[in-house]
Structure 1
Amino acid sequence: MLARQTLGRIASQPAVLGAAPSGARNMATLREIELRLKSVRNIEKITKSMKMIASTKLTKAQRAMEAAKEYGSANSELFQHAPAQEAGKRKLFVVISSDKGLCGGIHSSVSKATRRVFADPASGIDAESPIMIVGDKSKAQLSRALPENLTLTFNQIGRDVPTFADAAGVADLIVKSGVEYDSVAIVYNQFVSAISYESNIVEVETENALKESPGFKAYEMEDDVTKDLAEFSLANAIYSALVEGYACEISARRNAMDNASKNASDMIGSLTMKYNRGRQAAITNELVDIITGASAL
């Protein structure tokens, strides 16, 4: 009898010194799943809150975008009635992005569009054409691909709906930077709908190009008039691109947070099922141990 009890104690001990009991693995696994469930639920709360905030901002951004489009259409009408001669190959690229993330591929869209233009031999632009960037996100991307072309960057613009004062400040710094260029190409995200956008490039003529335009040569104007008109046209185009890019960013952030919330909900369901199965298995093992012990007695 004593030998049988001793043999039972030896069999119940772990095979390796310091090893966990047989039920400890299930307990640890359940604890890990429980902690992960709690973490995913917290993430779901955050993404849902960010989606609600973005949905509220989107309406305001769309109203501002509709008003700002009038500035861009005024520029298009001006250049349409007074077309300039063929511009040179040295273009100034102004890339419009922002400082914030968590909005899908909104920033990489304009960065890819810029890289495609420089990589395309048919574009005919100078390989040393300068690039100026609004926003830290595209700055980080283009600084790796085209570091030699970066000349000026702007940040802290677009934290709220951009204003014409923001665009005028950017245009003023561009004019005063002393960078030489034949024309300006603004790369931004064009708003298509609440769920889609696409990168677009709009051309803005410089002061010299306007002076050489046949439409402007027909009139006698002072030099200051053409200079002021060129600066105002640049500010108009930047303002329109900033506001439209902001609307695209808010829309993309809302869609990204909606997708993240759905993924978190699916993960919560999967983890809950796994936790319940593990818990049932642990209870079954305990019942088997109790029944086995009772049968032995």
Structure 2
Amino acid sequence: MFRLGATQAARVNGARNYATLREIEMRLKSIKNIEKITNTMKVVASTRLNRAQRAMTASRVFNESESEFYKNAEVQPDSEEGKNLLIVISSDKGLCGSVHSQVSKYTRKRVAELKNVDIVTIGEKAKTQLLRTHADNLKLSFSGVGKEAPTFLEVSLIADEIKKLGKYDNIEVLYNKFVSGVSFEPNTFSVAVAEAIEKAPGLSKYELETEGVNETLAEFSLANSIFSGMAEGYASEISARRNAMDNASKNAGDMINSFTILYNRTRQAVITNELVDIITGATALA
């Protein structure tokens, strides 16, 4: 059997170490580039979070005022045994942890609890996830959302398209509620439909003489609920993306430290092998 001499074996091992060293160096460079990207995305998300929280705070004022009005008017939701509509709010963008999967999971739970359910999705992420399990329930979807904080004009156009689907006995807006800078939770807004507003015993407290006011209030309730849900979801998404990029940067930093140590040890091993090769050759010539 052919065997390598000591000098030849040392040269082969040295070549392998050089290849490994170059691989480690390339991997280290790649991880450093990833860390730069995640750090940049974290800074961008932190900057956008302030604007998102301001938009969310403004939307909560309108939603709380509306809730107080319907509470005083004693508006009661219709029975869930009728025709139900679930409006699921997400966005088109990823890299934000479990924001989209959580609201999709919550939607599946609500579909299992209700009967005769139609689904409308706002954002491609929820649409993609719900198509796998409830494609027959999905009636309408909207894309191109989540790039900026929502505006009431944008929401009004969405609400107009939803109204074209027909009348529903119960409408719910499913969204991610912003709890804090590090947490969110799936939640629901119940939309007051025209029939429920018309039956409200406390509506006579207000001087509403205009014909069709019930339909007008129902349309505003739908648009206002979607607007609040999108504002809450947008703030939750930006916060989750900042946290995800922060964790990614920390993980990249840990990997950089590990690969730096590995690179230095491998480099030392290469140098040692070269010295052994030189000393062995010198000894053989002596």
Give the structure-1-normalised TM-score: 0.88
- Establish whether residue 239 from structure 1 lines up as the match of residue 227 from structure 2: yes
Q: SS where residue 268 of structure 1 aligns?
A: helix
Match of 1:69 in 2: 60
Does the residue aligned with 1:203 lie in a helix, a strand or coil?
strand
Q: Note if 1:142 corresponds to 2:130.
A: yes
Report the secondary structure of 1:169's partner residue: helix
- C-alpha separation between the residues in 2 aligned to 1:220 and 1:105? 44
Partner of 1:156, secondary structure, is: coil
Going from structure 1 to structure 2, the CA distance change for 1:253 and 1:21 (only over 3 Å counts) comes to same
Distance 1:207 1:99, change over 3 A: same
Q: 1: CA distance between counterparts of 2:3 and 2:68?
A: 93
Structure 2: give runs of 5+ residues left out of the alignment: none
Q: 2:25 aligns with which of 31, 34, 38?
A: 34
Q: Which runs of 5+ in 1 are unaligned?
A: 1-7
Matched positions, count: 280
* TM-fit CA distance, 1:12: 6.4
- Per the alignment, residue 199 of structure 2 pairs with 212
Residue aligning to 2:90 = 97
Who is 2:168 aligned against?
Answer: 181
Residue 5 of structure 2 is aligned with which of 6, 11, 20? 11
Distance of 2:86 and 2:3 partners within structure 1: 79
Structure-2 residue corresponding to 1:82: 73
Residue 64 (structure 1) shift: 1.3
- Greater CA radius of gyration, 1 or 2? 1
Superposition map of 1:119-138 within 5 A: 119=112, 123=113, 125-126=114-115, 128-138=116-126
Task: Classify 1:289/1:220 alpha carbon distance in 2 versus 1 (closer, same or farther; 3 Å).
Answer: closer
The code of the aligned residue for 1:227 comes to E
Bigger CA drift: 130-139 or 164-173? 164-173
Q: Deviations over 1:183-202 (max 9, x none)?
A: 11110011111111111011
What secondary structure is seen at the aligned counterpart in 2 of 1:186? strand
**Aligned amino acid, residue 23 of structure 2:** E
Q: Report the Cα distance in structure 2 between the residues aligned to 1:173 and 1:271, rounded to whole angstroms.
A: 54
Superposed displacement of residue 11, structure 1: 3.4
Give the whole-Å Cα distance in 2 for the aligned partners of 1:290 and 1:13.
Answer: 9
Q: Secondary structure at the match of 1:21?
A: helix
Equivalent residue of 1:153, what SS?
strand
Cα deviations by residue, 1:273-292 (Å, 9 ceiling, x for unpaired): 11111111111011011111
Distance 2:224 2:77 in 1: 22
- 8 Å CA contact 1:106, 1:249 repeated in 2: yes
Q: Deviations over 1:232-251 (max 9, x none)?
A: 11111111111111111111
Between the two proteins, what is the percent identity of the paired residues? Answer: 53
Once the two structures are superposed, residues 94-152 of structure 1 have per-residue CA deviations (whole angstroms, 9 ceiling, x without a partner) of: 01100000110111111011111223xxx4x21x3000010000110011121111000
CA RMSD across the alignment: 2.1
Find the residue that maps to 1:197 and give its secondary structure.
strand
Q: Which residue in 1 is equivalent to 2:111?
A: 118
Bigger drift between 212-221 and 90-99 goes to 212-221
State how 1:134-283 maps to structure 2 within 5 Å: 134-178=122-166, 180-216=167-203, 221-283=209-271
- Partner SS state of residue 94, structure 1: strand
SS at 1:22 equivalent: helix
